Amino acid sequence: MNATTYQHWQLEIDAEGIAWASFDKAGESTNSLSSAVMNELGQMLDRLDANPPRGLVFRSGKAAGFIAGADIQEFTRLDTPEKALELVTRGWNLFNRLAAVRYPTLALVRGHCLGGGLELALACRYLLAVDEPGTKMGLPEVMLGIFPGWGGMLRLPQRVGPQAALDMMLTGKSIDAQRAKRMGLADECVPPRVMESAAKILLLSNKPRRPLPFLQRLLNGPFKALVASAARKQVAKRARPEHYPAPYAIIDIWARHQGNALAAPALIDGIVRSSTARNLVRVFFMQERLKGFGKETSFQARRVHVVGAGVMGGDIAAWCALRGLTVTLQDQGMERIAPALERAYAAWGKRIRNKLQLRDVMDRLIPDPEGQGAAQADVVIEAIYENLEAKHTLLSKLEAVMKPDAVLATNTSSLKLEDLRTVLAKPARLVGIHFFNPVAKMPLVEVVSAAGGDPEMARRAAAFVKQIDRLPLPVRSAPGFLVNAVLGPYMLAAMRAVDEGIAPETVDEAMLAFGMPMGPIELVDMVGLDVAMAAGKELAGADVEPPRCLLERFNAGHLGKKTGRGFYDHASGSGGKGGGKGAGRARPGLRPEPFRPVWPSVCSSPCSNVYSNSSMRVLLRMPIWPTPG
Q: Which of 97, 81, 77 is nearest to 265 (CA)?
A: 81
Catalytic residue among 19, 21, 68, 70: 70
306 SS3 class: strand
**Which residue type is seen at 496?**
R
The answer to whether 485 is a known catalytic residue is no
Radius of gyration of the chain (CA): 27
The answer to whether 292 is a known catalytic residue is no
- In angstroms, rounded to a whole number, what is the distance separating the alpha carbons of residues 444 and 446? 7
CA end-to-end distance (rounded Å), the chain = 49
Q: DSSP string covering 138-178, please?
A: E-GGGGGT---TTTHHHHHHHHH-HHHHHHHHHH--EEEHH
**Which residue type is seen at 395?**
L
The answer to whether 119 is a known catalytic residue is yes
Asked if the bond preceding 208 is cis, omega within 30° of 0, the reply is no
- Other beta carbons less than 10 A from residue 436's beta carbon: 21
- In angstroms, rounded to a whole number, what is the distance separating the alpha carbons of residues 520 and 454? 36
Catalytic residue among 40, 141, 505, 522: 141
- Measured CA to CA in angstroms, residue 305 lies from 230, 317, 383, 457, 461 at distances of 46, 8, 10, 16, 14
222 SS3 class: coil
Catalytic residue among 116, 259, 314, 519: 116
DSSP state of 221: T
The answer to whether 70 is a known catalytic residue is yes
Strands 126-130 and 105-109: parallel
- Other beta carbons less than 10 A from residue 539's beta carbon: 20
Catalytic residue among 40, 119, 386, 446: 119
Active site residues: 70, 116, 119, 141
